Amino acid sequence: GAGVSQSPSNKVTEKGKDVELRCDPISGHTALYWYRQRLGQGLEFLIYFQGNSAPDKSGLPSDRFSAERTGESVSTLTIQRTQQEDSAVYLCASSVIPGPGGYEQFFGPGTRLTVL
Amino acid sequence: GENVEQHPSTLSVQEGDSAVIKCTYSDSASNYFPWYKQELGKRPQLIIDIRSNVGEKKDQRIAVTLNKTAKHFSLHITETQPEDSAVYFCAASPLGSGGYNKLIFGAGTRLAVHP
């Protein structure tokens, strides 16, 4: 079946502009995650959605970052008033319901954001 | 919160040699430890994982060991091949307010396997 998809694949924007990134999770996956990966660095957790539960926003770096998810489908990550330090690859992942037994997160191809 | 440290940051081996990557974590409540492989320009993909009730797991040339007392886990790749060249990330899943719902990643190890 189809994997996690993200759009756009690349986004170049000017400092101060808002951007919106989209993620389509694997059908049937109730959990959805956003990560940020700066060049040559590891993955930094941003936010997590699980069904209708309140999202875990503990990784969002500032109030310029927000994310929404409609039910158990599409999610959008919005960055307002972009700064050059926001330049990174933004990765989305989805998984089946997580639990104490562990789970596999399936990643999308990412959106490469460049803020000029 | 959980913190994961990964060593070494770069590793260069000859084809056929073994490679070992080590990670330590800080949150004793973490209970799931996956390893992801990321080839250049591609998305991370799970290669092996281990849960806290298991000390070792093996899948062909790849094995992972977990020492919960010491809070460290390691990835072992035997008989390395050039196609093993990639960045490898370890991760730990801490217990959050909503359960085990996120992964905290190490900084990554860039493995180069030379023919």
pLDDT at A114 over 60: yes
The predicted-structure confidence for B76-109, as pLDDT tens digits, reads as follows: 999 999 999 999 999 998 766 556 668 899 999 9
Question: What does the alpha-carbon distance between residue A41 and residue A72 come to, in Å, rounded to a whole number?
Answer: 30
Test B101 with A48 for CB contact under 8 angstroms: yes
Q: Pick the range with the lowest mean pLDDT from A53-57, A72-76, A90-94, B13-17.
A: A53-57
CB contact under 8 A, A98 and B101: yes
Q: Alpha-carbon distance A15 to A10, whole Å?
A: 16
Per the CB < 8 A criterion, the answer to whether B74 and B50 are in contact is no
Report chain B residues whose CB lies below 8 A from the CB of A101: 32, 51
Contacts of residue A16, Cβ cutoff 8 Å, sequence gap at least 6: A81, A82
Q: In which band, very low, low, confident or very high, does the pLDDT at A98 lie, cut at 50, 70 and 90?
A: low
Cβ <8 Å between B34 and A104: yes
Q: Say what the pLDDT of residue B98 is.
A: 57
Q: To the nearest whole number, what is the mean pLDDT of chain A?
A: 91
Looking at the DSSP bridge assignments, the partners of residue B38 are: B87
pLDDT category at B12 given cuts 50, 70, 90 is very high
Of the residues A107, A111, A112, the best mutation for testing chain B's interface (the one with the most B CB atoms within 10 Å of its CB) is A107
Q: What is the pLDDT of residues B14-54, one digit of tens each?
A: 999 999 999 999 998 888 899 999 999 899 999 999 988 88
As a dihedral over the C-alpha atoms of residue A7, residue A12, residue A15, residue A19, rounded to 10 degrees, the angle is -10
CA distance A98 to chain B (A): 6
Task: Identify any residues that bridge with B33 across adjacent strands, giving them in sequence order.
Answer: B50
Cβ B44–A107 below 8 Å, yes or no?
yes
Using CA atoms, how far apart are residues A62 and A56, in angstroms rounded to an integer?
A: 14
Cβ-Cβ pairs closer than 8 A, A with B, add up to 71
- Which chain B residue's Cα is nearest to A36? B105
pLDDT confidence band for A9 (50 / 70 / 90):
very high
Confidence of residue A101 (pLDDT cuts 50, 70, 90): low
Q: What are phi and psi of A42, to 5 degrees?
A: -80, 180
Q: Kindly write down the DSSP assignment for every residue of B29-53, as one continuous string.
A: T--EEEEEEE-TTS--EEEEEEETT
With 70 as the cut, is the pLDDT of residue A100 above it?
A: no
How far is C-alpha A52 from the geometric centre of its chain's CA atoms?
Answer: 17
Amino acid at B113: V
* Encoded tokens for A14: 């000017």
Q: At a CB cut-off of 8 Å and minimum separation 6, what does B89 contact?
A: A42, A43, B6, B35, B36, B37, B38, B44, B105, B106, B108, B109
pLDDT for B97 equals 57
Residue B15, min C-alpha distance to chain A (Å): 24
Nearest CA in chain A to B53: A101
Q: What is the mean pLDDT of residues A46-70?
A: 90
- Whole-number percent of chain A with pLDDT over 90: 68
